[in-house]
Amino acid sequence: MRTLFFAIITLITLNSCSESDNTPSPFVPVTITPVLIGKGNDISGLTQISLKITNQTDWNTLLSSMNSVSNTFAQTTIDFVNYDIIAIIDDERPCTNFSINIDSITEYENNITVQYSSSGDINNCFNAVVQPYHIVKIPKSSKPVIFQ
């Protein structure tokens, strides 16, 4: 009787350890909430660019190229051990009502996708050459960034 009891317990234990318990869960995309560093349209003369900055040297290069507005940034000291910078600088635009917006940042299994849009209307605007930009900080990641 004791042997039968242990056989039943062993059988139940082995059946409860199915392979499905060892199958990893599928990756679920995660929306990243960025921290605003700077946003505006009061620069000009830079190259249109979308980039991920992962180190102090590249960040200093961007800051010096944006010297006229970098003093208005919410932060200029970044902890690159824990954070990366996402920077989008648009083309030069003919008037001040143009902007660029980071609409969403989503982490997928193999990359991070940054969705952004630009807006503006040449009608009813003050004529001045401007260049919209949007710069944010996100948690550090080794994944490549795709800009869309």
SS3 category, 12: helix
Residue 26, domain member (yes or no): no
Report CA 34 to chain centroid distance, whole Å.
7
Residue 38 is assigned to a structural domain of this protein: yes
Q: Check: CB of residue 122 under 8 Å from CB of residue 89.
A: no
- In a domain? residue 78: yes
Task: Report pLDDT digits (tens) over 49-81.
Answer: 999 999 999 999 999 999 889 899 999 999 999
**Domain assignment present for 24:** no
Is 9 domain-assigned?
no
- Domain holding 139, by residue range, is 33-147
Full-prediction pTM beyond 0.75?
A: yes
Looking at the 3D structure of the chain, how many domains does it have?
Answer: 1
Cα 23 off chain centre by = 29
Specify if 105 maps to a domain. yes
12: in domain? no
DSSP 90-137: ---EEETT-EEEEEEEEE-SS-EEEEEEEE--STT--EEEEEEEEEEE
The mean predicted confidence, pLDDT, of the chain is 88
